[in-house]
Amino acid sequence: MSNKLLQPVTALKGIGAERALDLEALGIRTIEDLLEHFPYRYEDYRVRDVSEAEDGEKITIVGTVYGEPVVRFYGQKKSRLSVKVVVDRVVLTAIWFNRHFLKQQLRAGREIMLSGKFERARLQITVSEHYFLDTGKKVPKEGTIEPVYSTTANIQVKQMRRWVAEALREYGGAVEEILPPYLVQKYKLASRAEAIRNIHFPTSIAAGKQGRRRLAFEELFLFQLKLAAYHAMNRRASDGMAQKIPLDKVRAFVRSLPFSLTNAQKRVIKEILDDMQAKYRMNRLLQGDVGSGKTVVAAIALFATASAGFQGALMVPTEILAEQHYATLKQLLKPHRIEIALLSGSATARQRRDILAGLQSGMIHIVVGTHALIQEDVYFRELGLVITDEQHRFGVEQRRILREKGLHPDVLFMTATPIPRTLAITAFGDMDVSTIDELPAGRKPVETYWVKHEMLDRILAFMRKELDKGRQAYVISPLIEESEKLDLQNAIDVHAQLSHYFSGKYKVGLMHGRLPAKEKDEVMQQFSRGEVHVLVSTTVVEVGVNVPNASLMVIYDAERFGLAQLHQLRGRVGRGSEQSYCILIADPKTEVGKERMRIMTETNDGFEVARRDLELRGPGDFFGTKQSGLPEFKVADVVQDYRMLEVARQEAADMVSRPAFWVGPEYAKLREYLKRDEYFLERIKD
């Protein structure tokens, strides 16, 4: 970027120190920031032919007031003003809400321009803006398309338009191309300057779209370039540990497992071990559907690191999972003389001290714990591998902590939320991805049914039948306690009802997030051992829990959960050899809600669920929270623009693989862009 554009906004006429502060609240400091504050929509003042306007569309028309305006008051201080307006011999009804004072001005015969939402059936327009054409006052030029910006209370959209226009007039010429010419030509992109002009003040809808397309591409490309460059640098760096893994020992370990690995498992294990043996740091995401067998992959990697003389840590989101993984790993690794410890919140001070000492001395090879593990005062003799299970968000933070501790182990993230590719390459684009896309043979898909609340009796009868066969059941409810606002079933109530229903015959346990860790544990253990037959729970059992004898999952108010979450919950059953069932109790009110339930009944494939969920809900909701680790794009939309994202990713990867990228003058602007980031500033020397 040329320096001109990096001047503060106060360089513009009409923006003083005070206005600059207002703009700063929007993150706008420089002229460039202002130019890159893109409109999120447009006001279209092109006058439309009413006969062509569609229902619900926002239109602008010019017509003549006809007849008397009518005002109706209702509620507290609310009013509705309506008047007939003739447009091309069609009579429309124009409506204003809470603008009764306009009545006097709406005299028959006056020419007026109206913008608002059009309702086809009633030939009605709900006016959001109006201009009398006989006053000589300035009216938005017929035929213009005006940008609408996000602003703050202190800034009006009109002012913003003026400032942007001024910035374009004064500095539009200083906007430089950042993409190399070959990309601009290959994808027939508008130049950067042209695109910026057109996205703010499009001369036509097509020009606006061209501008948007160019800027979306640029945004996705620059983002992918950063990830690709980061990846390339990490690969080249030799600050990782080249672990000398005795592969024959690993093979023997694999042979000792009670089953043979699926081809997908074998493939991902090779990818992981290759990374561990290389001198760069592994930064890999392992994804696989629920039940695809990620734990054993983790066990093999941990075995490998221990056999190479390093230590390994497995971190999981909950204590329950930590204990479960610990038990599994202990069973697998103990016979091979690998020392494994559980660092749990319920350990006594003394146990804890022993474990910490063991980690520091190297007596303990593998430690399992919650994510808090590395944040605490835990020191390792030589940490070679960190595996993080079931957590999306942890990556960046975890890397920081490890770095600050001076550790640089290989890192593997495991997730059972299959992530659609477009999201994976945005959220985890700097990682290598291994995918287990195959389930162990002999798994029966879980049969999933969607039922209404009225069917509860039949569901209970069905549950009884399963229990009579010796199976166990989960019952999930979204809330813990009764809530006055939401008439939802809650875990405590459901537990009481079921205990009553099955009293004397089956034991019903209750688990929720507010129980003390010890009690949660106790219930889970009892369920695991088959002493509790029905486990009523909130979503704390969501991830990872493995009780193969459970064959029925009942989910109350299923419409309240995300599909990824429902799929996770469903994954708690179908882990044994028996046919398993998942029953979703839901009365969704919306079409989307119904569609979501249908998706669950139609497919058992987590990737398919994820893909369709993403289509329905968009990327923000996909991970359930705002803090998904997804970058926020200004122009691009990772769902709509996914093809562009793929292209941008490929181009970025190609580009950084060229030696010229790191030195050639034609890429200087892009390198400059990267160097705005501290990581690259330190590493790219120009």
Q: Which residues bind Mg ion (CB under 5 A)?
A: 294, 544
Only one of the segments 150-158, 284-292, 403-411, 530-538 lies at the binding site for ligand ADP (rule: CB under 6 A); that segment is: 284-292
Q: From ligand ADP, Mg ion, none, which one binds at residue 97 (CB under 5 to 8 Å depending on kind)?
A: none
Indicate the residue among 37 and 294 with the shorter CB distance to Mg ion: 294
Closest CB to Mg ion among residues 10, 328: 328
To ligand ADP, the closest distance from the beta carbon of 542 in angstroms equals 12
Q: Count, in order, helices (H) and strands (E) of the chain.
A: 23, 20
Site for ligand ADP in 548-587 (CB under 6 A): 575
State the nearest-atom distance from the C-beta of 450 to ligand ADP, in Å.
Answer: 23
Q: Please state the closest distance from residue 607 (CB atom) to ligand ADP, in A.
A: 13
Classify 34 as helix, strand or coil: helix
Tokens in use for 674?
Answer: 């990267």
Cβ proximity to ligand ADP: between 39 and 288 the closer is: 288
- Cα separation, 626 vs 607, whole angstroms: 21
DSSP calls for 384-403: EEEEEES-STHHHHHHHHHH
Residue whose C-alpha is closest to residue 163's, from 12, 29, 27, 4? 12
Give which of ligand ADP, Mg ion, none residue 596 binds (C-beta under 5 to 8 Å, depending on kind).
none
Candidate list 93, 159, 546, 603; residue touching ligand ADP; CB under 6 A: 546
Q: Which amino acid is at 213?
A: R
Distance, CA of 282 to CA of 399 (rounded, Å): 12
Single out the segment in contact with ligand ADP by CB under 6 A; choices: 223-231, 260-268, 400-408, 464-472. Answer: 260-268
* Residue 243 interacts with ligand ADP (CB under 6 A): yes or no: no
Residue nearest to ligand ADP (CB): 293
Q: Min. distance of Cβ 373 from ligand ADP in angstroms?
A: 19
Bridge-based pairing state of the strands 366-370 and 340-343: parallel
Interacting residue with ligand ADP among 8, 172, 358, 440 (CB under 6 A):
440
> Alpha-carbon distance 189 to 211, whole Å?
8
H runs (alpha helix) in 571-641: 591-602, 606-622
By rule CB under 6 A, what count of residues binds ligand ADP?
16
Considering only residues 379 to 438 of the shown chain, the ones binding ligand ADP according to CB under 6 A are: 416
Based on CB atoms, which residue is closest to ligand ADP, 489 or 604?
604
Q: Which is nearer to ligand ADP, 168 or 385 (CB)?
A: 385
**Could you tell me the smallest distance in angstroms from the CB atom of residue 376 to Mg ion?**
23
Judged by beta carbon, residue 115 or residue 295, the one nearer ligand ADP is 295
Minimal distance, residue 568 CB to ligand ADP, in Å: 9
What sign has the CA pseudo-torsion 386, 392, 395, 398? negative
What's the full length of the chain, in residues?
Answer: 686
Q: 287 or 426: whose CB is closer to ligand ADP?
A: 287
Which residue from 261, 278, 402, 653 is in contact with ligand ADP, where contact means CB under 6 A?
Answer: 261
Q: Which is nearer to ligand ADP, 44 or 389 (CB)?
A: 389
Which residue in 438, 474, 464, 492 sits closest to 568, CA to CA? 474
Using the rule CB under 6 A, give the single segment among 259-267, 343-351, 532-540, 638-646 that binds ligand ADP.
259-267
| Direct distance between the N- and C-terminal alpha carbons of the chain, in angstroms, rounded to an integer | 16
CB 312 within 8 A of CB 365: yes
- Point out the residue whose Cβ comes nearest to Mg ion: 544
**Which of residues 288 and 420 has its CB atom nearest to ligand ADP in the complex?**
288
Q: Which is nearer to Mg ion, 294 or 512 (CB)?
A: 294
Name, in order, each residue with C-beta under 8 angstroms of 127's C-beta and a sequence gap of 6 or more. 94, 95, 96, 114, 115, 116
Closer Cβ to ligand ADP, 89 or 255, answer by number: 255
Judged by CB under 6 A, does residue 291 bind ligand ADP?
yes
Q: In what order do the strands lie in the sheet with 472-476?
A: 447-451, 581-585, 550-555, 472-476, 534-537, 508-511
Q: How far is the CB of 298 from ligand ADP (least distance, A)?
A: 8
Distances (CA, A) of 99 to 139, 247, 531: 20, 79, 69
Which structure tokens are listed for 623? Answer: 């991970």
Q: Which value, to the nearest 10 degrees, does the dihedral of the CA atoms of residues 209, 210, 212, 213 take?
A: 110
Contact range with ligand ADP by CB under 6 A, out of 11-19, 139-147, 254-262, 309-317: 254-262
For Mg ion, the closer of residues 245 and 296 by Cβ is 296
Q: Which does 528 bind (CB under 5 to 8 A by kind): ligand ADP, Mg ion, none?
A: none
Say which entry of Mg ion, ligand ADP, none residue 159 contacts (CB below 5 to 8 A, set by partner kind).
none
Query: Which residue stretch of 112-120, 258-266, 300-308, 482-490 sits at the interface with ligand ADP (rule: CB under 6 A)?
Result: 258-266
Q: Which range touches ligand ADP (CB under 6 A), out of 33-41, 285-293, 468-476, 649-657? A: 285-293
How far apart (Å, rounded) are the C-alpha atoms in residues 180 and 102?
55
As measured in angstroms, the least distance from the Cβ of 567 to ligand ADP is: 11
Of the pair 546, 579, the CB lying nearest ligand ADP is at: 546
Distance, CA of 535 to CA of 476 (rounded, Å): 8
DSSP 445-500: PPEEEEE-GGGHHHHHHHHHHHHHTT-EEEEE-SBSS--SS----BHHHHHHHHHH
Residues forming a β-bridge with 383: 311
Cβ atoms 413, 283 nearer than 8 A? no
List the interface residues with ligand ADP, window 294-333 (CB under 6 A): 294-296
> For the chain, what is the largest distance between any 2 Cα atoms, rounded to a whole number of angstroms?
96
CB 50, CB 70: distance < 8 Å: no
Token pair 């213009």: residue? 144
Q: Which does 293 bind (CB under 5 to 8 A by kind): ligand ADP, Mg ion, none?
A: ligand ADP
Both tokens assigned to 6: 């990096």
Instruction: Output the CA torsion sign for 418, 420, 421, 423.
Output: negative
**Contact residues: ligand ADP, CB under 6 A:** 259, 261-262, 265, 288, 290-296, 416, 440, 546, 575
